[in-house]
Amino acid sequence: MLQFLKPGQSAALFGMRLLFALAALPPAFAHDAHSPAQHAATPEESAFLADNEAAMNRMMSAMEAKPTGDIDRDFVAMMAPHHQGAIDMAVLQLRYGQNEQLRRIAQEIIVSQMQEIAAMKLAIGEQAPASTPAPTQSSQAPAVHHHTTMPAGMKK
């Protein structure tokens, strides 16, 4: 069947299948029986782990889009929340992390992932998210925000 697809479509189809397969894994593979925050060494680590778990749960939930028959839109519907999850995790690094090299990498992740979300939305004819300054300073990153929205009919 793959030989009848246009170049690049087989890779997209494989990626879609991989995403669906990973989303279907039992929860035991995704999380321990206990919240990671319960095993934290410090209150700050506990807060970081709780915030990170919340960001991951938002991302995984937002990636659960029903297929629409439009591979391009389905790809963006799953990848935009995935990229937003990376942004949310990078914001947490800025809020809690101390390593300057990792903080710079987190800043780069925020900027690049925001650009990629905008490019993907524009590629399928959707309006790009409103232009806002990237939260690349810890003072600009007081909370994790989930800005990705999916069109009606894309949610589960």
Torsion of CA 56, 17, 120, 151, to 10 degrees: -70
15 occurs within a structural domain: no
DSSP, collapsed to helix, strand or coil, labels residue 47 as: helix
Domain housing 119: 43-147
Q: CB of 63 within 8 A of CB of 76?
A: no
| pLDDT for res 103 | 98
Output DSSP code: residue 119. H
10 occurs within a structural domain: no
DSSP, collapsed to helix, strand or coil, labels residue 156 as: coil
As a whole number, mean pLDDT of residues 106-131 equals: 94
Percent of the chain predicted with pLDDT > 70? 61
143 occurs within a structural domain: yes
| pLDDT for res 19 | 53
Beta-bridge partner residues of 155 = 65
State pTM to two decimals.
Answer: 0.63
